[in-house]
Structure 1
């Protein structure tokens, strides 16, 4: 199925993935979003993902449903991604040139990418991990805290098991770790220490203005009147402020993916 989502870019649904294929691609991004919002990544993360596509990256955004079993989610996400790659290869979309593959995750999507990189041998040039968190089920899901006094309910793997897996087995050497100044859910400090021990020379850590929801769409529109007036000026200013943090995130990711490229303000 091919869908246009409020833009001139067309998304294809392929094996539980939402995919964009730009002309003359230079790489592939495997995107995994946060819990619940990751189910419709082509909508919830559209602005961020379409920006990456405009830079020449094939976007394969895997849809997933949240559950307590994060290992199963990681396994299925990798299988779905591989199915999309196989489909694109059969359709001769990828061509014969090598295209580097990058993992990009937000919130829970970071944990899933970390599990994929720790449990499986995957072809990844690098991972971008945005607003990582690794809470216990009782902290992440309020209802679990009430039930957990009688039932032993926890994510698989547990937060500590996840840290141990990454510390011992994570095999993606190059990583960009992004946290936001007003993100109360972020646990990137813990992950940064682990990655610094594992691949210190290949880790880049950035702190940007914003909050946990900055990567999610901020698609605000302001229709101008027939004649530009002070109210229009205020509306444009508010729109610019709303986009500022998301634009800085786009710029940071694009520079890390392609440090030799020069990005204009218009391309943000």
Structure 2
């Protein structure tokens, strides 16, 4: 199973898909998700999930980005449907960092059918707290009366989620050593709208735990002590990412009925 570029998206199509995952990554690493999130996404593909990872370039207009990635995803799915029978498969959104906000905006602003969303390391900071040098830009624009802020702002985003977010089933994942995570506040907000439908998990790791290519240790003609050390180091590096993979997989298929 190889990555395919379809309508500007990076797509993995297993032989017999069991569900569809629309993946959106974090700001600045979302331009090449098939590389920056390779291990996580290929793991899902190996479990039978058809993965559509939509790249995007970060700007201050998050509403426009949300619209753009949704249009891109739907174009890719039109192409996929012409080749694979996926008409009745559930669609799940998975987002990391800014990708969470985009999935929340998609679920609030557009009429989409989602079986659920997985929101990893959500944060919803103001521009001055999230982007270096924004304060300097703000000072430059103030004489013209232009404020530099994300659209929608953090307050507006929370209001949209509270009043219009329509995806009932959600998994929120927070890492223990992630100082910029705001998942707990989001969980409280979603629980008010969908009591009993919001799952939260706190895992070992940092904000960048979901990132990482799958670096495979190549063993030579004979297995040596160096090979043993190399494989042990690989296992340690990916221990936290493996835990994330298993938590996401269990939530997507809680009773294991469709798991390969």
Q: Name the TM-score, length of structure 1 as normaliser.
A: 0.90
Shift of 1:82: 0.8
Within the alignment, does 1:119 sit opposite 2:114 as a pair? no
1:218–1:243 contact (8 Å) kept in structure 2: no
Aligned residue among 100, 106, 121 for 1:131: 121
Equivalent position of 2:13 in the other structure? 21
Within the alignment, does 1:94 sit opposite 2:85 as a pair? yes
2:101–2:124 contact (8 Å) kept in structure 1: yes
Aligned CA distance change for structure 1 residues 179 and 95 (closer, same or farther; 3 Å): closer
Structure 1: which 5+ residue stretches go unaligned? 1-8
Alignment of 1:146-225 (within 5 A): 146-151=136-141, 152-225=147-220
Aligned residue among 19, 38, 41 for 1:46: 38
Of the structure 1 ranges 58-67 and 228-237, higher mean CA displacement relative to structure 2 is found in: 228-237
Q: Name the TM-score, length of structure 2 as normaliser.
A: 0.93
RMSD over aligned Cα atoms: 1.8
Structure 2: which 5+ residue stretches go unaligned? 142-146
Alignment of 1:6-17 (within 5 A): 9-17=1-9
Q: What do residues 108-146 of structure 1 show as CA deviations (whole Å, max 9, x unaligned)? A: 000000000000110100000000011111111111022
1:218–1:242 contact (8 Å) kept in structure 2: no
Equivalent position of 1:62 in the other structure? 54
Shift of 1:228: 3.6
Within the alignment, does 1:34 sit opposite 2:14 as a pair? no
Shift of 1:37: 0.7
1:60–1:81 contact (8 Å) kept in structure 2: yes
Shift of 1:227: 4.3
1:161 and 1:258 map into 2 onto residues whose CA distance is 33
Q: How many residues align?
A: 255
Instruction: Report the secondary structure of 1:142's partner residue.
Output: coil
Of the structure 1 ranges 171-180 and 80-89, higher mean CA displacement relative to structure 2 is found in: 80-89
